[in-house]
């Protein structure tokens, strides 16, 4: 839609006309497998971003298109977004924080700034811009809701922020280094092992697949991409039945007999029993960070400290691996 609107804005108009007359083929929008030109223009009409003059003459004059004032404003936001240094006014949270993990996150969120990468990034989608900047301002102002669910997971606006947008944030001051992520490798299978859900007779084989970094690939159909394999297998841990569960049962029948619809809930509780105390420990050590379920967002120079602390508990990260013996060590 915005590409069509930009074409309208840049097209010359007859001296006495308010509409730009454009042949449909001239919009240059790729219709293959995506939104068509007609759908894009229809959406613009529905949003009151543009108007169309239908007094066209076949073979002589195409339809006329004109941006409304609302459309001009929306288009300028979409194609030329820049950040001006401004003070984000502190506000009271909508709901008070009763838990230490909530208070830690609120304080750390208020220390967020836009990173050095932000000014270099190409946020060309209006919706990405709007989502990112609303999230940033809401967190930094202190008014966002920070919820802890029944399984101990912490939820706040950045939890749902697109992963590709997180490097635009920093805890190192204005124009500082981007946040980095330290996450537990093979998190759910490791939690099953450490929580004693994996049957003792099958624990060695289970740990070997994790330690060799082939757990998802080995237990999925040949040729399945890792991202899909991970999705299918984690669905089994949440009670999904079907081919993937049958495949896991062939390798680990005693363990799979223990896995049911409630297993996923237990995994979230186990995860929180590790991650929330870790965030509180890091806070006492002066390290500001944010939890993202099985991962921690932090300053780049502090990632090794977090990886080391997770390693002490027997968890591998992308920064540091642990031995098979450490994986087998129960929580």
Range of the domain at 68: 2-79
245-266: average pLDDT: 95
Instruction: Give the separation between CA 44 and CA 5, rounded to whole angstroms.
Output: 8
Residue % of the chain over a pLDDT of 70? 91
Compute the Cα dihedral for 35, 36, 42, 44 and give only its sign.
positive
CA nearest neighbour of 118 among 141, 106, 105, 135: 135
* pLDDT in the model for residue 32: 54
Q: Is residue 90 part of a domain?
A: no
Query: For 307-324, how does the pLDDT look when each residue is reduced to its tens digit (9 = 90+)?
Result: 999 999 999 999 999 999
Q: Residue 102: in which H helix or E strand, if any? A: helix 100-110
50-57: average pLDDT: 85
Instruction: Say whether both 200 and 325 belong to one domain.
Output: yes
- Please return the burial class of 104, using the count of CB atoms within 10 Å of its CB with bins 0-12, 13-18 and 19+: buried
Residue 282 tokens read as: 């890091």
**What is the distance, to the nearest Å, from the Cα of residue 256 to the centroid of all Cα atoms in its chain?**
30
Residue 187 DSSP one-character state? H
* pLDDT in the model for residue 294: 96
* Residues recorded for the chain: 331
2 phi and psi angles, rounded to 5 deg = -70, -30
CA nearest neighbour of 138 among 99, 85, 89: 89
33: confidence class by pLDDT, cuts 50, 70, 90 = low
Query: For 119-129, how does the pLDDT look when each residue is reduced to its tens digit (9 = 90+)?
Result: 776 665 555 66
Instruction: Say whether both 195 and 302 belong to one domain.
Output: yes
Residue 113 tokens read as: 């700034």
* pLDDT in the model for residue 95: 82
Is the per-residue pLDDT at 161 higher than 50?
A: yes
Is the per-residue pLDDT at 85 higher than 50?
A: no
Edge-first strand order for the sheet with 64-67 is 20-21, 64-67, 50-53
Domain termination site, one of 111, 146, 177? 177
Task: Give per-residue burial for 288-301: e unless 16+ CB within 10 Å, then b.
Answer: bbbbbbbbbbbbee
Residue % of the chain over a pLDDT of 90? 60
Instruction: Say whether both 272 and 162 belong to one domain.
Output: no
Question: In this predicted structure, which of 26-40, 66-80, 103-117, 250-264 has the lowest mean pLDDT?
Answer: 26-40
Q: Is residue 115 part of a domain?
A: yes
53-75: average pLDDT: 85
Other CB atoms within a 10 A radius of the CB of residue 255 amount to 21
Query: For 208-240, how does the pLDDT look when each residue is reduced to its tens digit (9 = 90+)?
Result: 999 999 999 999 988 889 889 999 999 999 999
Instruction: Say whether both 136 and 190 belong to one domain.
Output: no
* pLDDT in the model for residue 86: 52
Contact assessment for residue 142 and residue 90, using Cβ atoms and an 8 Å cutoff = yes
Residue 60 tokens read as: 């002589």
Residue 146 DSSP one-character state? -
Instruction: Give the separation between CA 55 and CA 57, rounded to whole angstroms.
Output: 7
Instruction: Say whether both 192 and 170 belong to one domain.
Output: no
Regarding predicted confidence, which is higher, 113 or 124?
A: 113
Instruction: Say whether both 301 and 258 belong to one domain.
Output: yes
CA nearest neighbour of 317 among 327, 329, 330: 327
85-104: average pLDDT: 83
295 phi and psi angles, rounded to 5 deg = -140, 165
Question: In this predicted structure, which of 75-84, 205-214, 263-272 has the lowest mean pLDDT?
Answer: 75-84
Is the per-residue pLDDT at 8 higher than 50?
A: yes
pTM flag (> 0.85): no
267-290: average pLDDT: 97
Domain termination site, one of 47, 79, 111? 79
- For residue 223, what are the β-bridge partners? none
CA nearest neighbour of 116 among 191, 63, 70, 172: 172
Domain count, the chain: 3
- Please return the burial class of 28, using the count of CB atoms within 10 Å of its CB with bins 0-12, 13-18 and 19+: exposed
């Amino acid at each position: 839609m915005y590409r069509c609107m930009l074409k309208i804005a840049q097209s010359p108009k007859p001296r006495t006309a308010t509409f730009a007359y454009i042949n449909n083929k001239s919009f240059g929008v790729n219709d293959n497998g995506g939104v068509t030109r007609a759908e894009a223009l229809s959406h613009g009409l529905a949003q009151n971003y543009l108007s169309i003059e239908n007094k066209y003459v076949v073979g002589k004059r195409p339809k006329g298109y004109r941006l409304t004032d609302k459309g001009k404003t929306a288009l300028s936001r979409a194609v030329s977004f820049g950040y001006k240094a401004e003070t984000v006014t502190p506000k009271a949270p909508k709901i008070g924080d009763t838990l230490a993990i909530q208070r830690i996150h609120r304080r750390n969120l208020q220390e967020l700034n836009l990173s050095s990468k932000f000014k270099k990034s190409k946020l060309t989608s209006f919706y990405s811009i709007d989502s990112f900047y609303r999230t940033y301002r809401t967190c930094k102002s202190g008014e966002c809701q920070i919820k802890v669910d029944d399984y101990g997971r912490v939820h706040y606006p950045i939890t749902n922020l697109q992963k590709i947008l997180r490097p635009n944030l920093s805890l190192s001051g204005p124009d500082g280094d981007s946040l980095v992520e330290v996450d537990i490798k093979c998190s759910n299978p490791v939690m099953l092992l450490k929580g004693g859900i994996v049957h003792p007779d099958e624990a060695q084989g289970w740990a070997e697949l994790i330690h060799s970094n082939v757990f998802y690939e080995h237990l999925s159909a040949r040729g399945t991409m890792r991202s899909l394999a991970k999705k299918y297998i984690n669905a089994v841990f949440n009670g999904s039945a079907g081919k993937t569960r049958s495949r896991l049962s062939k390798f680990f029948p005693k363990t799979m007999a223990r896995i049911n619809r409630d297993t996923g809930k237990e995994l979230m509780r186990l995860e929180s029993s590790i991650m929330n105390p870790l965030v509180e420990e890091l806070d006492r050590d002066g390290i500001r960070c944010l939890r993202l379920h099985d991962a921690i967002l932090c300053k780049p120079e502090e990632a090794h400290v977090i990886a080391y602390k997770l390693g002490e508990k027997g968890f591998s990260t992308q920064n540091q691996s642990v031995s098979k013996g450490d994986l087998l060590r129960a929580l």
